[in-house]
Structure 1
């Protein structure tokens, strides 16, 4: 299987300029290392009618192209369930019946990292499990043997992060992101993961899970976000931040692309032209402030 990078949006609405900048970076990282570039739609539970088509159109408008067809998570349930079964057969899962409120109000386990699941359902006896099943459906959690795991990131170096008994499948039957992304990347031959640095804290969980599934870790590069004038992560409420809104303000897709390239210290033009000047070592390491049209 050939090596690949990818961009994996959730079809919950239009992409904003921060999403597009990350997609462009993922494309540049992949193409600069001779990798193919894939597009995966993460539509397990946040899909909005028509959003996928708009996202694909906007990616193409700024020059992001991909190899092969678009893969959708909703067509991949068998792979996720097989991974959960393998972990269960190895004694690495358990049923959890806790509500969010119960987790928030429960005392932390001794020596547990801040914010970690307290292990309330970790060692229920069969009678307790049977009783709790009669009250509510169970989520499936990973039975972790570590509290911390370290990953290497191209831009951040060594990054240690919390690993707790995180959810693999929610009690409504939807597979959790941390499991799906690991299984998807492995199945697609993705060995380079470029995404926003807001996802860096969850990466040690995913890397630890990959190790349990005997999956080689990809190369990680978590890139700075685009923020608003207040320093908060950019959102659609911040005015004209999508290609459609910017077009309404008289700003073309090519102009948006060139502005995003400039924010990365890259020359204006097509992504193929920017590729010749792309060097991860010279990328800005701080968030970029979007100041509007």
Structure 2
């Protein structure tokens, strides 16, 4: 039998980082074992499921490059199959009609609570056939009354639940629609899922699903329940901790490789290794390396990983992701140097691609005013002559390259008998509009020569006006 894993999100919101980690672990396990990876959209919650959420899930999976080999399958397209299985369970005596009202069920639970017993449905209709005509009913699964369910969890070890802890759960609502635990069982069976890797918030569902699978005579998958992700304050990860949707990380300037690398280590380890290529993840990942305790999300660590990938991945590849941010910020990159060159000079100066795009605008967009603090400090009367001389020398260059630009700056400082900073800093503010940039000679070489000369003219005019007004 082919090893088959699945990722089965509900389309009721974005793809959050916990779901992305589950998808990653499931994808890696299938990849490592030459298996299949199924994408299943569990959209039976008709009131909350939206196409927008489906699109967000697909966008997140595609951005992370977690490609599925089967699907996407939609549960709403499989209602006939679920009805067929429900009918089978009724026919074989493993499910029954329940006419108890929600108020009656709540009263049963209150009575059990008062007795210090497990709060659950008491099985009132379990063995009855005196069904009232025309009254609404649900279908309940007839859970075994004795014995234990043993989950041989690949992460947590054996988990034993006594069947007396479980009640007869509803598998079809009064309108006939199937419930989560029924649809999951049927889908995992029909789709040949051999390994269910999911968050440990599903541990309570697993014994119920195992009992239904056994009632159907279906093979049991192996289960691996991954501990949840916490915020750095020890509470469940939520919006208050920052971005939790996968595409928000793209919007904030992270590379998909960085997020994947960070997520794989958020609950799994291989010695002390921190950086993993995609190929290494596939080769080394194993469920036995997963932690049993929850992991805390640390944005500073993610930033560090992101910086590593910006600096070490091929600049041409990073440039493709940078292009999205440039476009998102309204920058036309046709009016300047190749983005690959920007990545080479800016990658070690920023934390994110969004920041890289923000500080690189001057390569593509002309500015109409200088940064106030930089201009106040460097575009003073003393800078007028250095700017006039360097403009003359730059104008005379036959070849516009970093080496010749560097020589011209040196020659200006020597001619005027001043330090390099007296020439370089006014020139940097003139050319970029601000006081920070990569190496000045490289920065100017990436800019168009005529554009640099025009910006120097603008700086000279700014100083002359400042002198006139003083």
TM-score by length of 1: 0.89
Residue 114 (str. 1) matches residue 114 (str. 2): no
Aligned equivalent of 2:58, options 29, 35, 56: 56
CA shift in 2, pair 1:34/1:163, >3 Å: farther
SS in 2 for 1:56: helix
**Alpha-carbon separation, structure 1, partners of 2:55 and 2:263:** 22
- Once structures 1 and 2 are overlaid, which stretch shifts more, 225-234 or 32-41? 225-234
1:283 to 290, 315, 318: 290
Q: Does 1:37 align with 2:41?
A: no
1:241 counterpart residue number: 244
CA 23–95 in structure 1, closer or farther in 2 if over 3 Å, else same? same
Q: CA deviation at 1:84?
A: 0.8
Structure 1 residue 265 corresponds to structure 2 residue 269: yes
Unaligned runs of at least 5 residues, structure 2? 301-470
Q: What is the match of residue 169 of structure 1?
A: 172
> 1: CA distance between counterparts of 2:101 and 2:17?
36
**Structure 1: distance between partners of 2:3 and 2:177:** 28
Residue-pair matches, total: 287
Q: CA 1:292–1:103 in 2, change beyond 3 Å: closer, same or farther? A: farther
**DSSP-derived class of the 1:69 partner:** strand
Q: Which has the larger radius of gyration?
A: 2
In the alignment, the residues of structure 1 paired with residue 269 and residue 183 of structure 2 have an alpha-carbon distance, to the nearest angstrom, of 34
Q: 1 CA distance for matches of 2:263 and 2:49?
A: 26
What is the root-mean-square deviation in Å for CA atoms of aligned residues? 2.4
SS at match of 2:132: helix
Return the TM-score normalized by structure 2: 0.57
Does residue 213 (structure 1) correspond to residue 216 (structure 2)? The answer is yes
Cα distance in 1 between the residues matched to 2:231 and 2:192: 35
**Residue 254 of structure 1, CA deviation:** 2.8
Q: Give matches, 1:35-184, under 5 Å.
A: 35-45=35-45, 46-106=48-108, 107-108=111-112, 114-124=118-128, 126=130, 129-130=131-132, 133-134=134-135, 137-147=136-146, 148-161=148-161, 162-184=165-187
Q: 1 CA distance for matches of 2:248 and 2:101? A: 40
- Kept after mapping to 2: 8 A contact 1:16/1:236: no
CA distance, structure 2, for counterparts of residue 228 and residue 82 of structure 1: 43
Q: Please report how far the alpha carbon of residue 237 of structure 1 lies from its aligned counterpart in structure 2 after TM superposition.
A: 5.1
- Alpha-carbon separation, structure 2, partners of 1:144 and 1:30: 32
**Uncovered stretches (5+) of structure 1, i.e. residues with no partner:** none
Would you tell me which structure has more strand in proportion to its own residues? 1
Give the drift of 1:247: 3.2
Residue 30 (structure 1) shift: 2.0
**Quick check: 2:25–2:264 contact (8 Å CA) kept in 1?**
no
Q: Could you list the structure 1 runs, at least 4 aligned residues long, displaced by more than 4 angstroms after superposition.
A: none
CA distance in structure 2 between the aligned counterparts of 1:163 and 1:113, rounded to whole angstroms: 12
Q: Decide which moves more: 243-252 or 34-43.
A: 243-252
Shift of 1:182: 0.8
Please identify which structure carries the higher helix content.
2
Change in 2 beyond 3 A, CA 1:182/1:112: farther
